[in-house]
Amino acid sequence: MSRFTDFTDKVVIVTGASRGLGRAMALGFAECGASIVVSSRKPDACNAVVAEITATGGRATAVPCHVGDWNALPELIDGTLAAFGRVDVLINNAGIAPTAASSLEMSEELLDKTMAVNFKGPFRLSALAEPHLRKHRGSIINITSIGAIKPDPTYPVYAAAKGALNIITRSHAMEFGPAVRVNAIMAGPFWTDISRSWRDEYQKNAPSAMKRMGTPEEIVSTALYLASPCSSYTTGTIIQLDGGIL
């Protein structure tokens, strides 16, 4: 195994790790030797991914957490330290994309929930993790969305939240550097549960150079790059991973 992809003795937190992109990244980092903290709202779903990892000889633990709950986030860091004693990589992947019929019909509750999960949670969790990441010259990877630069009337608040996460990626890179690097993957459409309601139609005429949606496994190599010594001079960078959307 190359020293650039060897994550033995490294501890990686993945939020939203029970399915989709988060699950793929959790499995990918585990395959490279990392100890994985699998986090999402549902304990049973977290435990299922832990079982997948440990079945192949990997190390993982479940620390369920609702990233939209500001006061619950310290428990995720505390649970990680209790299980593995350190934090090397934080992947802020958890997200939700609810919609309303129009901006006028968007409720304050739904707006606040969308912002809390997609922006406030990653902001707070990064701040909590930073002192521990600093000890090991660690890395934060924020999973944002192409919606941040290509907003659509059907998901304005989601797009705004991901745009804010792009900005915080740059801001935290400056605040936490040089010891902690902070980057983002700005994901385009991927074949996941979240896209279930529209993925078949999109796949028929995908407006991208690749002419298709991405598969969850196709985000893993980019995440590994950003967490590894390969990207030692890369921080405050937002990588657009969308198959070449036109």
For 128-158, the DSSP string reads HHHHHHHTTT-EEEEEEEGGGTS--TTSHHH
Give the SS3 label for residue 13: strand
The number of beta carbons lying within 10 Å of the beta carbon of residue 104 is: 6
- CB neighbours of 49 closer than 8 A, spacing ≥ 6? 17, 18, 23, 26, 27, 38, 60, 62
Which residue type, as a one-letter code, is found at position 92?
N
Q: Does 158 participate in catalysis according to the annotation?
A: yes
Tokens of 164: 């804010």
Q: Nearest CA to 109 among 100, 22, 101?
A: 100
The number of angstroms, rounded, from the C-alpha of 235 to the middle of its chain's C-alpha atoms is 16
The number of angstroms, rounded, from the C-alpha of 4 to the middle of its chain's C-alpha atoms is 21
158, 202, 225, 233: the catalytic one is 158
Which residues are the active-site residues? 158
